[in-house]
Amino acid sequence: MQEARLYERLDENKVRCALCAHRCVIPEGQRGICHVRENRGGTLYTLVYGRLIARHVDPVEKKPLYHFYPGSTAYSIATPGCNFRCRWCQNWEISQMPREEHLILGETASPEQVVADARRVGSRSIAYTYTEPTVFFEYAYDISRLAHEVGIANIYVTNGYMTPEMLDAYHPYLDAANVDLKTFREETHRHYIGARLQPVLDSLKKMKGMGVWVEVTTLVVTGVNDDPEEFRDIARFIVDELGPETPWHISRYFPAYRMTNPATPLATLQRAREIGREAGLRYVYVGNAPGEENTHCHACDQLLIRRSGFWVLENRVRPDGTCPRCGTPVAGVGMAGG
């Protein structure tokens, strides 16, 4: 165990965690909503520091990040735990393990070991992913600081439910984030996810303002968040608050965990993409649907990056980051082809 950061001590040995937007008040001997932060004697501890439940070398496109060093790999890690309860969670076996099985499993790995492994395999970045990285903030922070010292970027694949204090603390080391904007309806967010919507929107805007490269993902769940008006609201928010250059990934849902609704029809996803483009978004992708991965110039429609699944087959972006046909700048970080 290690003492947590970002909390305050209260009367009667209670503590208030300031890591995520739940801001749990935790009595002595109890844990927060994430089930991986525990109050012992008026001190808050993280129970997952250095405890890896998953680690893989992934294409950065798998995060998904299509405009952050495309074609590179991300050394991807996770500890158990999450502060959400999404009924369709794809990784529920590890994200919900502390809550449902009362277990915190994983191999021990120091921050130094994680960075050394990332360097050994030649990854351009380290991605904190699979579960919610905010709940293992202390561990991710220590890794991120070391990663920056050797020129490795840091990526959060996140539900966006962190506090402003957490982002302020992490800011010097966070380079990119893919944020799950799961729905744009408050009632839906509370019912299916167990959290409020507004903190996610606030985090998106704050990260964008900090200069973090941001991409947005919406998993379209049949009968839950597949209304065209909701697509329009999400697209308008991205355009108005994050900028039209912000990529939006519209992903196909398949039944998982406690959700048995049928898989998303491809026509629904294609309509969402049309709505995003009509709203002014320059880069809209359909995920979990083969053949929808390519990047085109938003000005002349020139094919810029050709992909197969998560793999880059060809990158035509000029060394100066522009379209080879019309010279329009291509939004992103490290976009130039080889």
Looking at domain 51-293, its CATH superfamily turns out to be Aldolase class I (3.20.20.70)
Q: pLDDT tens for residues 252-271?
A: 999 999 999 999 999 999 99
pTM over 0.85: yes
Give the integer Cα–Cα distance in Å for 25 and 90: 29
**pLDDT value at 291 more than 90:** no
Residue 133 φ/ψ, nearest 5 degrees: -65, -20
**pLDDT value at 68 more than 80:** yes
Quote the mean pLDDT of the chain: 97
Position of tokens 């973090």? 212
Q: pLDDT tens for residues 133-157?
A: 999 999 999 999 999 999 999 999 9
The 3-state secondary structure of 1-59 reads CEECCCEEECHHHCEEECCECCCCEECCCCECCCCCEEEECCEEEECCCCEECEEEEEE
For the chain, residues classed under CATH 3.20.20.70 are: 51-293
**pLDDT value at 283 more than 60:** yes
Confidence of residue 289 (pLDDT cuts 50, 70, 90): confident
**pLDDT value at 226 more than 80:** yes
**pLDDT value at 338 more than 60:** no
Q: How many CB atoms lie within 10 A of CB 296?
A: 16
pLDDT of amino acid 1: 82
